[in-house]
Chains A and B, each alone.
Chain A
C-alpha cells in the first residue's frame, strides 16, 4: 500500500468516524429515568428539580421541551408562578422557531430531524396555553387565565391554515369548555354560555368523529344552566329537549368546584423504521433505512375517579364522578398522522441523498483499496454508519397526562376539602373555598 493510498484510507476512516459521531445526534432520553421516577411517585417538586438538573441533557435544540416539561412539573407541584414563567417562555420560543436556520435545516436534511430545534407538536402548542391558563385560574386571576384561552383560538386557526384546513385537530372542545368555566368564574355568564355552546358543538362534531370522544354529561347541565342564567329561554328549552333532561336551574346562592384531573402517562414517540428500496442507474436495487416517529401508549386503560367535597366543619360529603374531557393521547396520534405526510417526504428525500453519498463513498473506497477485504470492510462500515445517522425525532412533551378528566360539584358557600380517589386509592386532596355564585377551579395531578 502506497503512502498516498494510506492517506486516502485514513480520510475514509475519518468520514466513517464522522458519521458515527453524528449518530449521537439522536434523541437523548436517558435523563428521563430520574425525572419520571419522581413524577410517577407523586414527588412533583423533586421532578421539577431533576428537570432543572438535567437541563444540559435537553441541549440547545430542546429548550422548548425543557420549558414545557419543567412548567408541567411545577404545575403538578402547585408552584404556579415558576410554572407560568416556563410555559410563557416555551410559547415565545415556539414562535421564535418560525424563523428557521438554513444551516440547521441543511444538517437535518443530511442527518435527521434531531438536528432541528424542537418546536412542539400542534396539540402541544395549544396545551401550553391551557396549562398557563390553569396556573392563573388556580391563583384566582381569571382575567389572565382568559387571555390564555383567547390565544388558543388564534393558534388553532393558524395551525389549520398551515395544513390548508386538511388537518383533523382544528378545534379543541376541552379548551372551549374550560374557557366557559373561566368566564363563569369571572362573572361573564354570556361569554360562558357561548363557550359552552362551542365546546358542545365540537364534542358532538369533530371530537366525536376524529377522536371517538363522548361529550362530558356535565357540559349538558352547564349549557342548560348558563342559558337559564341569561334568560335565554328558547335555547334552554332546546337543550332540555335535545338532552332529555331538566338540568340544573341557575342559583346565585350556591357555588361550584370544577376539578380538573390530569390522568395517566401520555404516549411517547418511538422510532418506526423501515427500508426504502432505491434503484441505481444499472438497475440494481439498494436498501436505505428510513425512520419516522410514531406514538406508543403508556396507559392500558382509562382511570375512573370519584370526586368528594367534604365540609371543613364536618357534615355529609358531596360526591361526583369524573369524565374524560380531553384525550391527549388520541389527539397526539392523529395530529402526528396529519404531519406524517410531510415527514415521509422529508425522510424519503434524505434517503436519496444518503444513498447517493453512500454510493460515492463506496466507489471511492473500491478505487483506492482495489476492493479486497479491507475495502469491503470499510464499505460495510461506511454504509452502516450512514444508515445509523437516520433516526426519527422522538422528542415529545413527556410530562403530559394521557387524558384530562373533569368533575363539577355544586355546594353551598363554605370551606371544603376536595378529594379525588381511584379504586380506593386517594389520588389528591386540597382545601377549596366555595363562594356564592362563584366557581373554584382546582387542578389535581394523577400521572403516577
Chain B
C-alpha cells in the first residue's frame, strides 16, 4: 500500500513539474491586415474595418452632393474628438488616424489637420517667420477653415458569466456643420464578439 502511495506521490509531483513548464516563446511575422483576435477586446482590425465602412458610408450620402452643388467645391472636413465610453482602454488616436486615412483616400472631401497638429504647424510658421528666408517663408492666416467636423463616441456592452462573454461595441459618428451646428450625417456601426475561456486545463 505504501509503495502505491509513493508511486502516486511521484506521479503527482511529475504532473506538477510538467504543468510548471510553460511553452517557449515564438515570434512569427504576419500581415498588418491579418485578423488575429486574442483577448476579444477592441483591436487594430476593428479600428481599421469600422473606419473603412463608416467613411465609405459618409462619403456616399446626399449631404456631399448637396454641398458641392450649392458651394461649388469639395467640402473640407476635420476629425474632432471620438470619446471612448467603452469598458476597454481603447487607443482612440489609432481609430482617428484610420478615419483620417480613409477620408483622404476617398478623395471626395478635402481634409484639414486636427487641433494638435494645427498647433504644431502654427509654431513652425512662427519659427519660419523668424528663421527662414523670405522667399521660402509660409504665410500665416492662410489656413483652410473646415466646413464640417466628424465627432463620435465608442461604447460597449459586456455580458459576462464565468469564462464566457459577449462584447458588443458600438461606434457612433456624426458629421456636423461647423457654422450652423447642423448634423448632416449620423453613422452607426456595431461589432459583436463572443469570447470563451476553458474552465479546466491539465
Q: What's the least CB distance linking A428 to chain B, in Å?
A: 28
Q: In the complex, which residue of chain A has the Cβ closest to the Cβ of B1?
A: A364
Determine if B84 and A99 form an interchain contact, defined as CB atoms under 8 angstroms apart. no
B106-114, B141-149, B158-166: which lies at the interface: B158-166
Determine if A103 and B202 form an interchain contact, defined as CB atoms under 8 angstroms apart. yes
Residues from chain A with Cβ under 8 Å of B161 in the complex = 158, 161
Residues from chain B with Cβ under 8 Å of A106 in the complex = 12
Identify which of A8, A101, A151 contacts B201 (C-beta below 8 A): A101
Of residues 20 to 75 in B, which have CB atoms within 8 Å of A's CB atoms?
A: 20
Roughly how many angstroms separate A60 CA and B22 CA in the complex, as a whole number? 12
Q: In the complex, which residue of chain B has the Cβ closest to the Cβ of A144?
A: B89
Identify which of A15, A18, A158 contacts B160 (C-beta below 8 A): A158
Of residues 11 to 68 in A, which have CB atoms within 8 Å of B's CB atoms?
A: 11-12, 14-15, 18, 60
Roughly how many angstroms separate A2 CA and B134 CA in the complex, as a whole number? 109
Q: Is B98 an interface residue (CB 8 A)?
A: no
B interface, size bucket: 20 to 34
Q: Is A70 an interface residue (CB 8 A)?
A: no
Determine if A147 and B88 form an interchain contact, defined as CB atoms under 8 angstroms apart. yes
Residues from chain B with Cβ under 8 Å of A146 in the complex = 85
B3-11, B116-124, B174-182: which lies at the interface: B3-11
Roughly how many angstroms separate A158 CA and B87 CA in the complex, as a whole number? 15
Q: What's the least CB distance linking A110 to chain B, in Å?
A: 8
Q: Decide yes or no: A143 and B2 within 8 Å by CB, A98-B197, A99-B200, A101-B201 being known contacts.
A: no
Q: Is A281 an interface residue (CB 8 A)?
A: no
Residues from chain A with Cβ under 8 Å of B88 in the complex = 147
Determine if A100 and B200 form an interchain contact, defined as CB atoms under 8 angstroms apart. yes
Interface string of B171-202 (1 = CB under 8 A from A): 00000000000000000000000000111111
Q: Is B137 an interface residue (CB 8 A)?
A: no
Q: Which 10 A-B pairs have the closest CB atoms?
A: A11-B2, A103-B15, A154-B158, A150-B87, A98-B163, A364-B1, A158-B160, A99-B198, A151-B87, A103-B19
Determine if A102 and B6 form an interchain contact, defined as CB atoms under 8 angstroms apart. no
Identify which of A8, A99, A143, A161 contacts B197 (C-beta below 8 A): A99
Q: What's the least CB distance linking A31 to chain B, in Å?
A: 21
Residues from chain A with Cβ under 8 Å of B19 in the complex = 101, 103-104
Determine if B1 and A143 form an interchain contact, defined as CB atoms under 8 angstroms apart. no
Roughly how many angstroms separate A60 CA and B19 CA in the complex, as a whole number? 12
Determine if B84 and A143 form an interchain contact, defined as CB atoms under 8 angstroms apart. yes
Q: In the complex, which residue of chain B has the Cβ closest to the Cβ of A14?
A: B6
Identify which of B162, B198, B199 contacts A162 (C-beta below 8 A): B162
Q: Decide yes or no: A12 and B199 within 8 Å by CB, A107-B16, A150-B86 being known contacts.
A: no
Instruction: Tell me how many residues of A have a C-beta within 8 Å of chain B.
Output: 32
Q: In the complex, which residue of chain A has the Cβ closest to the Cβ of B13?
A: A18
Q: Is A360 an interface residue (CB 8 A)?
A: yes
Roughly how many angstroms separate A157 CA and B87 CA in the complex, as a whole number? 14
Q: In the complex, which residue of chain B has the Cβ closest to the Cβ of A100?
A: B200
Q: What's the least CB distance linking B102 to chain A, in Å?
A: 23
**Can you spell out 9 A-B residue pairs with CB atoms less than 8 angstroms apart?**
A14-B6, A99-B200, A100-B201, A102-B202, A144-B89, A147-B87, A150-B85, A154-B159, A158-B162
Determine if A103 and B6 form an interchain contact, defined as CB atoms under 8 angstroms apart. no
Roughly how many angstroms separate A146 CA and B160 CA in the complex, as a whole number? 19
Residues from chain A with Cβ under 8 Å of B1 in the complex = 360, 364
Residues from chain B with Cβ under 8 Å of A103 in the complex = 12, 15-16, 19, 202
Q: In the complex, which residue of chain A has the Cβ closest to the Cβ of B88?
A: A147
Roughly how many angstroms separate A100 CA and B163 CA in the complex, as a whole number? 11
Residues from chain A with Cβ under 8 Å of B158 in the complex = 154
Q: Is B104 an interface residue (CB 8 A)?
A: no
Residues from chain B with Cβ under 8 Å of A143 in the complex = 83-84
Interface string of A86-122 (1 = CB under 8 A from B): 0010000001001111111011000000000000000
Determine if A98 and B2 form an interchain contact, defined as CB atoms under 8 angstroms apart. no
Roughly how many angstroms separate A98 CA and B197 CA in the complex, as a whole number? 8
* Additional 20 contacts, C-beta under 8 A, given A103-B12, A147-B88, A161-B162: A8-B2, A11-B2, A11-B3, A99-B199, A99-B200, A101-B19, A101-B202, A103-B16, A104-B16, A104-B19, A107-B12, A107-B16, A144-B89, A146-B85, A150-B86, A151-B87, A154-B159, A158-B160, A158-B162, A364-B1
Q: In the complex, which residue of chain A has the Cβ closest to the Cβ of B90?
A: A147
Identify which of B5, B86, B197, B200 contacts A102 (C-beta below 8 A): B200
Q: What's the least CB distance linking A133 to chain B, in Å?
A: 11
Q: Decide yes or no: A147 and B202 within 8 Å by CB, A104-B19, A161-B161 being known contacts.
A: no
Q: Decide yes or no: A154 and B87 within 8 Å by CB, A60-B20, A100-B201 being known contacts.
A: yes
Residues from chain B with Cβ under 8 Å of A95 in the complex = 197
Determine if B201 and A147 form an interchain contact, defined as CB atoms under 8 angstroms apart. no
Identify which of B2, B16, B83, B163 contacts A99 (C-beta below 8 A): B163
Q: Decide yes or no: A154 and B201 within 8 Å by CB, A11-B2, A11-B3, A12-B2 being known contacts.
A: no
Identify which of A18, A101, A147 contacts B84 (C-beta below 8 A): A147
Q: In the complex, which residue of chain A has the Cβ closest to the Cβ of B160?
A: A158
Q: What's the least CB distance linking B117 to chain A, in Å?
A: 20
Q: In the complex, which residue of chain A has the Cβ closest to the Cβ of B39?
A: A92
Roughly how many angstroms separate A18 CA and B10 CA in the complex, as a whole number? 11
Residues from chain B with Cβ under 8 Å of A101 in the complex = 19, 200-202
Residues from chain A with Cβ under 8 Å of B15 in the complex = 103
Residues from chain B with Cβ under 8 Å of A14 in the complex = 6
